[in-house]
């Protein structure tokens, strides 16, 4: 296996460079954008430029590695190493001028995520994890929340882009859990939601119909912070619950009772 510590020291300034470029662009007029899967699923010129910078770095330093990126898809397909890239997670927030969005970069080895970085540029939070070495926020080691009672918990979630057309749109789960918890927050960036779950800022998180680039780095952060991530349905792409083991089970039990 390659030296992951060395890779991390190369990736950190890369994501900071990309994120700071996004921060400098936030709120500027005339931003070019267009829709993707639905009219509310958008991509901006900054998403594309961010992805180009990251891919240029990977192809220059690790040309033998595969890359799975949100905007350009999969390149390669036979390598042991694969980079999973979300260049700007929270595009809707960014396009609206809201300062909650993130850059997410993960590295897999034979299908297992071994390195993850999530950077939220406006907030100035750099989350990092190497498998077996813990998760960190700006160099400080992380641990998930220790809360075990739903009524005392603050959870995070999100809604799929096809929420208007697909019955499994999370509204049933949200409506049931909102009255059994202290609060539920919806930040609009799955990578950041998972990172905040790793810090214990959120006591738990669930969402469905996600893609690998949304969660690859964030799942590793949660696991390396002592948490657990489980998949709770197979018909809506990647659908996960994250938190400490007890909280994950309680959220899972609530969702199972509701069915689809």
Instruction: Find, among 133, 155, 179, 180, the residue nearest to 248 by Cα.
Output: 155
Q: Are 187 and 90 in contact (CB under 8 A)?
A: yes
Segment 47-59 mean pLDDT: 97
Q: What is the pLDDT of residue 10?
A: 98
Token code pair at residue 185:
């927050």
**CB neighbour class for 206 (10 Å; exposed up to 12, middle 13-18, buried from 19):** buried
Contacts of 150 (CB under 8 A, 6+ apart): 177, 180, 181, 247, 250, 251, 254
Q: What is the pLDDT of residue 77?
A: 85
The answer to whether residue 139 scores a pLDDT higher than 70 is yes
Q: Hey, what's the torsion of the CAs at 75, 190, 89, 168, to 10 degrees?
A: 80
Where along the chain do its domains lie? 4-141, 150-258
| pLDDT tens per residue across span 65-118 | 999 999 999 999 899 999 999 999 999 999 999 999 999 999 999 999 999 999
Where do the H-state alpha helices sit in the chain? 4-25, 45-61, 91-96, 171-178, 190-199, 212-224, 245-258
Q: One fold for both 4-141 and 150-258?
A: no
Q: What is the pLDDT of residue 1?
A: 81
Q: Is residue 54 classed as helix, strand or coil in its secondary structure? A: helix
Instruction: Find, among 81, 76, 77, 64, the residue nearest to 1 by Cα.
Output: 81
| DSSP code for 112 | E
Contacts of 131 (CB under 8 A, 6+ apart): 4, 112, 113, 114, 115, 220, 224
Give pTM, 2 decimals: 0.95
CATH of domain 150-258: 3.40.190.80
Mean pLDDT of the chain: 95
| pLDDT tens per residue across span 147-191 | 999 999 999 999 998 899 998 999 999 999 999 999 999 999 999
- Alpha-carbon distance of 129 to 141, in angstroms, equals 10
CATH of domain 4-141: 3.30.540.10
Segment 25-49 mean pLDDT: 77
Q: Is residue 14 classed as helix, strand or coil in its secondary structure? A: helix
Segment 205-219 mean pLDDT: 98
Instruction: Find, among 65, 71, 66, the residue nearest to 87 by Cα.
Output: 71
- Alpha-carbon distance of 119 to 124, in angstroms, equals 7
The answer to whether residue 34 scores a pLDDT higher than 70 is no
The confidence band for 43, taking pLDDT boundaries of 50, 70 and 90, is confident
Token code pair at residue 235:
């018909």
């Amino acid at each position: 296996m390659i030296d992951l510590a060395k890779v991390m020291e190369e990736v950190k300034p890369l994501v900071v460079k990309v994120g700071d470029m996004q921060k400098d662009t936030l709120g500027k007029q005339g931003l070019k954008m267009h829709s993707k899967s639905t009219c509310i699923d958008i991509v901006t010129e900054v998403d594309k430029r961010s992805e180009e910078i990251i891919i240029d770095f990977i192809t220059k330093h690790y040309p033998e590695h595969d890359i799975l990126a949100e905007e350009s898809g999969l390149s390669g397909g036979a390598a042991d190493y694969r980079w999973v890239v979300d260049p700007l997670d929270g595009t809707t927030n960014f396009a609206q001028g809201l300062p909650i969005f993130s850059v997410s970069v993960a590295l897999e080895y034979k299908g297992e995520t071994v390195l993850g970085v999530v950077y939220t540029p406006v907030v100035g939070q750099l989350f990092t994890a190497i498998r077996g070495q813990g998760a960190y926020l700006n160099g400080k080691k992380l641990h998930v929340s220790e809360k075990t009672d739903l009524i005392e918990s603050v959870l995070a979630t999100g809604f799929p882009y096809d929420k208007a057309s697909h019955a499994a749109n999370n509204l049933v789960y949200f409506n049931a859990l909102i009255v059994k918890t202290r609060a539920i927050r919806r930040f609009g960036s799955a990578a950041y939601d998972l990172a905040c779950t790793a810090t214990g800022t959120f006591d738990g998180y669930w969402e469905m119909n996600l893609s690998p680039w949304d969660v690859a780095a964030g799942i590793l952060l949660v696991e390396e912070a002592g948490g657990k991530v489980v998949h709770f349905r197979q018909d809506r792409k990647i659908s996960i619950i994250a938190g400490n083991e007890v909280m994950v089970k309680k959220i899972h039990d609530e969702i199972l009772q509701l069915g689809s």
